[in-house]
Chain A
Amino acid sequence: MTELVELQCRTNYSFLTGASHPDELVNQAIKLGYHSLAITDECSLAGIVRAWQAVQDAQAQLNLIIGCQLVLAEQSYILLAKNFAGYQQLCRFISKARQLGEKGSYTWQLDQLSDLPNCALIWRPTAVSLAHWQQLNALHPECYLGISLLRTPGEQAHLQALQHFAHQQGATLVACNDVHYHHRSRQPLQDCLTAIRHRCSLFEARPYLFSNSERHLRSARTLAALYPESILQATTALAKSCQVDLTDVRRAYRYPGVALPKNMSDGDYLRHLVEQGAKIRFPEGIRSEHQALIEKELALISELEYEKYFLTVHDIVRYARSQGILCQGRGSAANSIVCYCLHITEVDPRRNNLLVERFMSRARKEPPDIDIDFDSKRREEVIQYIYRKYNRRHTAIAATVITYRRKSAIRDLAKVFDLDLNRLEQVISRYGMRYLGKDWLDQMLSDVGGLSQQNMALFKSLLVQLLGFPRHLSQHVGGFIISEQPLDELVPIENAAMPDRTVIEWDKDDLESIGLMKVDVLGLGMLGAIQKSFDLLGQIHGKPFVMQDIPANCELTWQMIQQANTVGVFQIESRAQMNMLPRLKPACFYDLVVQIAIVRPGPIHGDMVHPYLKRRQGLEPVDYPEEKLKPVLERTLGIPIFQEQLLHFAMVAADFSEAEANRLRKGMASWKRTGHMLPLREQLKEKLAAKGYDESYIARIDRQIEGFGEYGFPESHAASFALLAWASCWLKQHHPAIFTVALLNSQPMGFYTPYQLIQAAQHDGVEVRPVHINHSQWQSTIEADEGSTGGYAIRLGMQQVRGLHEARIEALLRQRPKQGWQSIDQLPAVMGDQLERLAAANALSGLGQHRHGDYWQTLAIGEHQDLLDQYLPSTHDAQLPQENRLQSLQQDLKSTGIAVNDHPASYLRSEHKFLAQLPTLDRLPSFAHKQAVKLFGLVTVRQRPGTAAGVTFVTIEDATGVANLVVWERTAHEYLAVLTQAKMLLVDGRVDRDPNSQVTHVIVERLQRIDNLLQIQVSSHDFH
């Protein structure tokens, strides 16, 4: 009895070749009544989990065969795993071939086939060769001959030849249909992918295109008409003999253990560590409700057998702590009392009302989710520890699937359609500056030109299909998979672009589906800055300073936050966050959690921000759409703000099951990537409507879901971030010099440039001292100064000087006399132009005549001149002009990017009468609402957030403060050149003040560029 089966099928994980998603192939196979479907991507299992998940979701009886296809010396082969041992052999084989080849390709040899005894081998000859067949049979115990009947010329003769050969040799002939897409309608897309793969237009790609659309999943009737019954029977028999279930991977997977004390099980040891930690965390003794929470969490961990996972995470964190690397766990599982006791997180469950249900889910059967942030500059040390401890063969990083997004898809299809690419870039740039209407694509394509009406429709339809298609595998930022057995027995591993790094072929969603556990080892610059602040405080106080030394509450710090004096702190430093702070006025830890989560696309798109603020200010009563939603929404005044709340909302208000809510979460995450609308979103809307929710509320919830797709922010992450935000704010308030030094020494990081950080510190009353050869170290340092806020001044480090090399400068500093150098003549020669650069930055001030003279003198010290040049007239032979104020400012900014003692705006004010008459920016609050105002300043930030319809925000500064400008779209277009290019702006506008928060903006009416008055090099933070 023949069954409908397919033994050769590529998904779109055979990049730029296969033209259907794995789930599309599976669903089509189910629809057509297939009994078996082999997924055989080219030397890859990257698409297999998605296919397997599709079978699970459909709850179908489809036998999913795991295999791959290979090419060697123009011969084509298919390997199919017959059982789990075969699957493991296949994983090892692919890993080896991938690791031997260049990234994105593979290398193998025929004799490796003998390593695959539990796989079936199908050879698809173009012409039969007895010698080759005999060679294959010598290497492999189960060989088949494969034939593809795709209605191409000459294939009947080929069939006859193969049948004859099979009969003579006693070989079995099976059907392989070389499937490239689920339905023939995907032929155009497959042709386009072929052109993209060959990097040419469709016209040029025509020699490579298939002559028909037969490479799809065909019906039983079609196959029966094409193939002799005997071949179909043999094919069915082979398919039936291949039985591998991916759940076996989960069963086989064992999480590595840690060394256990004698007579202790994993559970015992975990309990022991938690109890030890609890004594430190709760020195006053643990309260009964917290003890009960610990018991509940430990019981759940034990029930789900996750003890080893928690022990491993604890082990990694313990190592980092032992090396003085600050770290912080986040994620739903991280913010639990167990993790608090294990020092995985510092988020105190007493300060945060996280519920145990959000800790881990029994129903979801998914592994716990813990991300750990480490100081980004020291993360590599932790990674190396993991490799050392758990062995390279047992450790790998998860993949990230790079997929087609809007711009990349448009660009590649434009090449296929042979459009004018320069013109396209021009149009794309222009559209980047505008807000996209519904028919943006039509407009864009007509602007590019070169497409007929019919081809425009084709282009659009292909674009929709191509969005979300995988392009290649990349390395996840830090998702580690660790296994007790070698990982290549569970999943293929390939080389990452980075040397000595290997990635598994599955991404985080695949891992979640299969149930493999992942620990995210991530880098966070702010942790480094906080650690550096702690180190400095430790040096001052003579004892280590740790996170717990920061008080949970501090009135002065809350005031600073409410006044939005947050330049340089974590998370709440952007322009949008700073605008929100005086409105939301955070006054406790949970307010900070909300503050961090509310300025995100989700709540903003969902129009949830203003209702929340109104309720917080008491201008609107707190109520709930339904009383049963009170527990879900109570903590955010009845307004959904966090991603978890929205999911919980779906469960309570729309009767979503936990599994459905989970699918909604996953859908949100992939919505932006795939561009596919989520059926569950529609389901949610329908259910809410049926329950009588009003239309506008449903629309807001829907927009919020869409917004979370762009950047979802769960409460557990916000809580971890809030803790770091609080720590950084407290440091800024109480130790501004130390905090600024720590930030300067952790660059590059954060939103602001070193110059802006220094300006902010100076506004806070901190004395900042320039780089000097006799006083500075490589990094910035603090110097005791009672006149400076916090009792310390900042001494800029030599690393602020552009072009200096750390090793050369450290060598120079080792030679520095105790009393410093007295003249330039005493300076030792340093390799390269290091002394020149120091002189240009005025770091030799006092050692010579003046900056120009010092520089001229150092030019003669260098070793880059001709040997004989040293006999030429020497150092003091030229009279060079002393620098004026403008030159000093220009050279400071050019050499270090920082002007410590001057500001470009102050200089202009002193030089130009018309500017001197204008108010300084610190006087802005004295202007009345709607009063006309004329200002000028240096542009520091330009932003066009996608959430602010058509508005450009610009920040300008002078030596006294900053002004926030709002440029409406019409004005922006009128002054586009000035708005996008100017470094120094002269602004006419009107003051706009919010009566509640007193937040002041200037609504711009006219802009003028005044850069020509001052030739300076200052960078602004533009459109990020």
Chain B
Amino acid sequence: MAEWLHVHLPALQLDSRYAQQQPAVLFNQADRTVLAATRAAEQLGIEPGMSLSAAFMLAEELALQAFHQTSQQQWLERIALLGYRLCGNVLVHEQGISLRIDDVRQLYRGNIKPMWQPFALWLQQYQLRFQSIRVQTPLQGLLLAPTQPLNKAPILSSEQAAKLLQQLPLTQCQLPPRTLDKLEHSGLQRLGELLALPTGSVQRRFGKWLQQWLQDLRHARPNEQAWFSPKKQFRERIELNREAQSAAAIKFPIRPLLDTLETWLASQKLCATGLAITLLNRQRERIQQLTIHASTSLIKAEEWLPLIDLQLERCQLNEPALYIEFSALGVSAQSRATEDLFEQASGMRPAQLLDLLSAKLGNEAVQHFTGEADPRPERACQVAQHGMAQLPTQHATAFWLVPIQSTHIEQWQLLHHSQRIHTGWWELESSKRDYYFAQHQDGRFGWLFRDAQGEWFLQGYVG
């Protein structure tokens, strides 16, 4: 008889971001309903299925996490990867994973504890709530795991679980609403009652699919399982709880990524010689990129950490970061010798090359043009150090701009009015300027402006 260990993670995206003591909810962006709540939120009366506005009424300070399918998938894959190290057959579901353990159980002489413990420790380390159960089919696990106590090792044998299945209310069987309605209207309340009905009678009323579903409940279909396998490249993106104002603040969130990298490398007997860490702002624009290189190939998180610490100490954030992209560089089989620096550089993207140059020459030595959509010339056309946000230049100007400096109007002869700029009301002081072309006593043609206080400034030279 096959045996599976099913782990259900009811609030993965929420638990990975918020502590249970903080009132927070995971919600569906489409209909703005609560999908999961932290313990603190549950204590305030917030429960899954409730509308967000009802939840807001119950909690003065409620943190929100919108459900993102990609993020859910990434987390599940990380957990599946962990499972993959323990046993080769892993299935990934929408809210959990199933591990086929009857083969590996023999390795542990029927005791699954040695296999379970590192897995549970990892989940606890990231404060992820879970429910687990040993079952005979993955579908049994999907239905029964949510009925199990939180954060406990599986206590029932798969035979006991099969009995439990008989008593499971149909409302907890994740059946389509219309099917559930029909079963309820027929007076059926528990799964056991449905299982006891003659096969043909069920098929006639509900079609083949329900019959197949009941089959899947009894026996897994091994050939049709979509087994999990680790991805070919390691590239992850995470969203931070709050915007990181300093580079030091990203150190902690990077740790789980390193752990996952370690698991990924180890599961495939690979190693890496470098890491690329990209920091993105709220608009998902790149604001900083760190490249960490090791002289030898590395696997373990502990080995990467000091290198990253050193880089972060030198790094200054120009604006707050909300996302981290993380990828492994120079990945190769563990036995292969490490490639040298030049070989790596040859395959580099320009941004990586700039990072290397910047690291070598210093940030101040590498500059680029940038600008803002702002009529003020000094903002429309700027030169910035490498690493700062790079925006397309919107208002190119034909003048040679100088840092704005106060000037003596007596030294200039005004030629004609050029334009008026009145903007920036959203800043501490708005800018109101009247621009003129003028000729200096020394013959140079300049571009001046007078501000609202009547003071004169030189903005640039013509020609």
Residues of A within 8 A of B (CB): 151-153, 156, 184, 187-188, 191, 202, 206-207, 209, 211-214, 422-423, 425-427, 429-430, 432-433, 454-455, 458, 836, 839-840, 851-852, 855-856, 859-860, 865-866, 869-870, 872-874, 877-878, 880-883, 887, 891, 976-978, 980-981
Contact = CB atoms under 8 A, between A and B. Distances in A.
Contacts of A423: 64
Given A156-B416, A981-B45, A212 B185 contact: no
A422 B44 CA distance: 20
B421 interface: yes
Q: Which of B66, B372, B373, B426 has the most CB of A within 10 A?
A: B426
Contact of A980 (B57, B374, B375): B57
A187 B425 contact: yes
Interface string B407-441: 00000000011111111011010000010000000
A881 B187 contact: yes
Interface string B38-51: 00000011100010
Contacts of B46: 977
A856 B205 contact: yes
Contact of A872 (B50, B62, B204, B418): B204
12 contacts: A151-B420, A184-B422, A187-B422, A211-B419, A211-B422, A425-B53, A430-B60, A454-B428, A458-B426, A851-B185, A851-B187, A880-B187
A866 B418 CA distance: 80
B1 interface: no
A852 B204 contact: no
Q: Name the 9 nearest CB pairs between A and B, nearest first.
A: A977-B45, A852-B187, A151-B420, A211-B375, A429-B56, A206-B373, A212-B422, A207-B373, A872-B200
Given A212-B420, A856-B205, A870-B204, A426 B62 contact: yes
B356 interface: no
Q: Which of A202, A429, A870, A880 has the most CB of B within 10 A?
A: A429
Given A859-B205, A865-B204, A422 B64 contact: yes
Contacts of B186: 852, 855-856, 859, 880
A213 B422 contact: yes
Contacts of A422: 64, 66
A976 B45 contact: yes
Interface in B366-413: 372-375, 394
B182 interface: yes
Interface residues of B, number: 47
B204 A214 contact: no
Nearest to A855: B185
A336 to B, nearest CB: 47
Nearest to B372: A206
Nearest to B62: A426
A891 B45 CA distance: 28
Given A852-B187, A877-B198, A887-B187, A869 B207 contact: yes
B185 A429 contact: no
Given A202-B426, A211-B423, A430 B205 contact: no
Contacts of A429: 52-53, 56-57
Given A211-B419, A213-B422, A865-B207, 8 more contacts: A151-B420, A212-B420, A458-B425, A851-B187, A859-B186, A866-B208, A878-B197, A883-B187
B187 A873 contact: no
A191 B424 CA distance: 10
A976 B204 contact: no
Contacts of B417: 151
Contacts of A859: 182, 186, 205
Interface string B53-79: 110111010101010000000000000
Contacts of B184: 891
Interface string B182-196: 101111100001000
Q: Which of A151, A872, A874, A977 has the most CB of B within 10 A?
A: A977
A423 B205 CA distance: 48
B201 interface: yes
B172 interface: no
Nearest to A420: B64
A455 B197 contact: no
Contacts of A213: 422
Contact of B185 (A156, A454, A891): A891
A852 B203 CA distance: 18
B459 to A, nearest CB: 13
A882 B187 contact: yes
A851 B203 CA distance: 21
Contacts of B422: 184, 187, 211-214
B135 to A, nearest CB: 27
A981 B426 CA distance: 43
B382 to A, nearest CB: 15
A869 B200 CA distance: 8
A1022 B431 CA distance: 51
A144 B428 CA distance: 44
B204 A873 contact: yes
Contacts of A874: 204
Contacts of B197: 878
B50 to A, nearest CB: 8
Nearest to A458: B426
Contact of B56 (A426, A455, A869, A891): A426
Nearest to A864: B207
B432 to A, nearest CB: 8
B63 to A, nearest CB: 9
B418 A153 contact: yes
B425 A188 contact: yes
A836 B181 CA distance: 11
Contacts of B50: 981
Contacts of A887: 187
Given A207-B373, A873-B201, A426 B64 contact: yes
A884 to B, nearest CB: 9
Nearest to B29: A422
A214 B187 contact: no
Q: Which of A188, A212, A427 has the most CB of B within 10 A?
A: A212
Contacts of B53: 425, 429, 432
Contact of A425 (B52, B187, B374): B52
A102 B69 CA distance: 36
Nearest to A891: B185
A386 B313 CA distance: 79
Nearest to B187: A852
Contacts of B375: 211-212
Contacts of B193: 881
